[in-house]
A and B are shown apart, each in its own frame.
Chain A
Amino acid sequence: MRKRNSGKDKLITVALHIALAAGLFFAAFPIYWMLSSSFKSNTEIFALPPTILPKAFTLEAYAAILGDPVKLRFFFNSYFVAGAVTVLTVLIALLAAYGFSRFNFRGKGSLNTLIISTQTIPPITLLIPFFGLVVSYGIFDTYVALILTYLVFTLPYAILLMTGYLNTLPRDLDEAVAVDGGTSWTALWRVIVPISLPGIVATSVYTFLLCWNEFLFALTLTKSTSMRTVPIGIQLLMGQHAFEWNQMMAMSVLGSLPLLLIYLVAQRFFLAGMTAGSVK
């Protein structure tokens, strides 16, 4: 009886490992393919049968991108827009979340519901209205257009995320500041913000990723090459007559690096409990 059971357990373990390996392959292969293709020449990419490892390892794709000011501008635009939206989102979400978390005011419930309900609207349905608004305000093809539009999409979720985080922080801390001679404003900046780093980092990463990867609105609300962001830049490499696959892949690698770095730097904030020792 026991033997049969252990045999069955072994079978389940093996099956589980095979399933996990298949999952890993499914998830990791595109990344590998992106990396590998970025080090190939464009001719090798079109070779049949395809080469798993680059036969002739080359950095020509990277050189083409990093040496081209137009393509570097895509990176600058992406960094600038995503960075600005992240800073603004965190600031606004923090203030809004502090209000939701710490104060009672008329219409608080309805406002909360309104914020959540904006998440149910598919962004694409807002594309035409936004285009109209942006044109009529005279901000078409500017950073302002992208930043304001992205804020509309990042803020609701960021407010919810930050409110949830602030709700976990003991109110005694705010009250201790009040007794110590501070205002709510003091409590927010001197105590709540420093201990909210995990929440702020989570919100920032979410916001930055959303902006960094955004394609549709960046494509619609900008026109000149100098205003394009990385996702559009990658797409621009698909020419009418030629597909610069190696450059597209190299640009994808360079585009993914900041995200990877952000994750590596930020992950310790997700793990540590910042309020340890505060109460009890």
Chain B
Amino acid sequence: MAEVILENICKTYGNNFNAIDHLNLSVEDGEFLILVGPSGCGKSTALRMIAGLEDITSGSLRIGGIDVVDMPPKDRDIAMVFQSYALYPHMTVFENIGFSMRLAGKPKAERKKRVDEIAKTLQLTSLLDSKPANLSGGQRQRVAMGRAMVREPAAFLMDEPLSNLDAKLRVQMRAEITSLQKQLGVTTIYVTHDQTEAMTMGDRVAVLKGGVLQQVDTPKRLYESPVNAFVAGFIGSPSMNLFEATLTGDDLISGTFAVRLQDEAFIRRPGLRSYAGRKVVFGIRPEHLYDSSLESGRKYQTIPAKVTSIEELGSEHIVHLNIDAVRVDSGDPDAVEDFGRASNAVAKFEPVSTVRSGSEIQLGLDDVKLHFFDPETHLAI
């Protein structure tokens, strides 16, 4: 077990493309850190640099206090779970898990004892003689985990290990990996593009965009206090609604509606007053928008909205709406845009809501939960 410290890590490819730009990250001993970001943000590159599979252009990387920049992967005391699992197809589950011990020249008896222990933990005992081709996706995933665990490494590196599993199995494996990590207490760096995994699994989450670290914090703080519009839009599902408005006195004016801000909003964000008379980006999460015809939504001020479509999920309704405001792009390249521009906002309503597609409604808005960003820099105010 060890801490992993990245200082000013850069990765530049031949064509001067900066895949990673001065990344500073400190992962505590035993911590579960999630690296998250949209496709191409450099999260996998960062992980591969920690593993030693990718050269580091500049900067320093220490694992357990030892500078490992010039060390090959085998000397870094890390274990990695690949997105593809990368199981050795010609070897049995036993041989796959025990391969690193065999390379290390460990005696057969010791190998067998250790592999058996791990197989028991991962419920693979009955499959030890099977080849990867005869395993299900979930079983292969567990073998890949076993192969990493057998090394008793200083740190686990996991590169989107659940992305090839179906949705149900993913939820199950998410919980299994989290509890396994807690049980083993090994420092873990986990790469994902799935922000649900990011929010539910890690002690802390590092959000990357274009090779630049945006914010590192606990899932709760990322959700509540994003440092910029990108993090605000990326964390949370569905994404935060971001709009442009003008701050006039205590009112946020956009199109034909105005939202009155309470004193609390200005107390919590002292900088907000300086935007008086200027444009500002405001954000509201779908779960902080309400159906005003329901008891839960009555206490909030309302704005007019038109319902364009509804996804009934049973436990909640995802309601796509159109409000009279200009939507702001958070900068997430993976965000699914509504190309028809029929809707520009998303809300989460209770399943008892009776709103229908096409109807004009009054949308309740919890103004205390509004987020504010600078329209130029997109930084939080």
A residues engaging B (CB < 8 A)?
170, 172-173, 175-183, 186, 190-191, 194-195, 274-280
Contacts and interface: CB of A to CB of B under 8 A. Distances in A.
A278 B51 CA distance: 21
B72 A279 contact: no
Contacts of A177: 99
Interface in B93-149: 99-100, 103-104, 131-135, 137, 140, 147
Given A178-B72, A181-B104, A195-B88, 16 more contacts: A172-B86, A173-B86, A173-B88, A175-B80, A175-B86, A176-B88, A176-B147, A178-B74, A181-B151, A183-B74, A195-B89, A277-B140, A278-B87, A278-B132, A279-B84, A280-B164
Interface of B: 51-53, 72-74, 78-80, 82-90, 99-100, 103-104, 131-135, 137, 140, 147, 151, 164
8 contacts: A170-B84, A176-B147, A177-B99, A179-B80, A183-B72, A276-B89, A277-B133, A278-B88
B132 A178 contact: no
Most chain B beta carbons < 10 A, residue from A181, A190, A276: A181
A276 to B, nearest CB: 4
Contacts of B87: 176, 277-279
Contacts of A194: 90
Given A181-B104, A195-B90, A278-B88, A176 B134 contact: no
Contacts of A277: 87, 89, 131-135, 140
Contacts of B78: 179
A176 B80 contact: yes
* Most chain A CB neighbours (cut-off 10 Å) among B87, B89, B133: B89
Given A175-B53, A277-B133, A182 B86 contact: no
Nearest to A173: B86
A29 B363 CA distance: 86
A176 B89 contact: no
B74 A181 contact: yes
A278 B100 contact: no
A170 B82 CA distance: 11
Contacts of A179: 51, 53, 73-74, 78-80
Q: Chain B CB within 10 Å — which of A175, A180, A280 has the most?
A: A180
Contacts of A181: 74, 100, 103-104, 151
Contacts of A278: 84-89, 132
A62 B195 CA distance: 76
A172 B103 contact: no
A51 to B, nearest CB: 53
A180 B99 contact: yes
Contacts of B86: 170, 172-173, 175-176, 278-279
Question: Lowest 4 A-B CB distances belong to which pairs?
Answer: A277-B133, A279-B84, A277-B132, A172-B86
A276 B131 CA distance: 10
Contacts of B53: 175, 178-179
Given A178-B74, A179-B74, A181-B104, A172 B82 contact: yes
A176 B82 contact: yes
B206 to A, nearest CB: 22
B89 A275 contact: yes
A191 B84 CA distance: 16
Contact of A274 (B80, B89, B134, B140): B89
A71 B74 CA distance: 56
A149 to B, nearest CB: 35
Contacts of B80: 175-176, 179
A143 B174 CA distance: 63
A274 B52 contact: no
Contact of A182 (B51, B74, B131, B132): B74
A197 to B, nearest CB: 9
A36 B30 CA distance: 78
A175 B89 CA distance: 14
Contacts of B99: 177, 180, 190
Nearest to A178: B73
Nearest to A276: B133
B82 A175 contact: yes
A27 to B, nearest CB: 37
A186 B133 contact: no
A191 B135 CA distance: 19
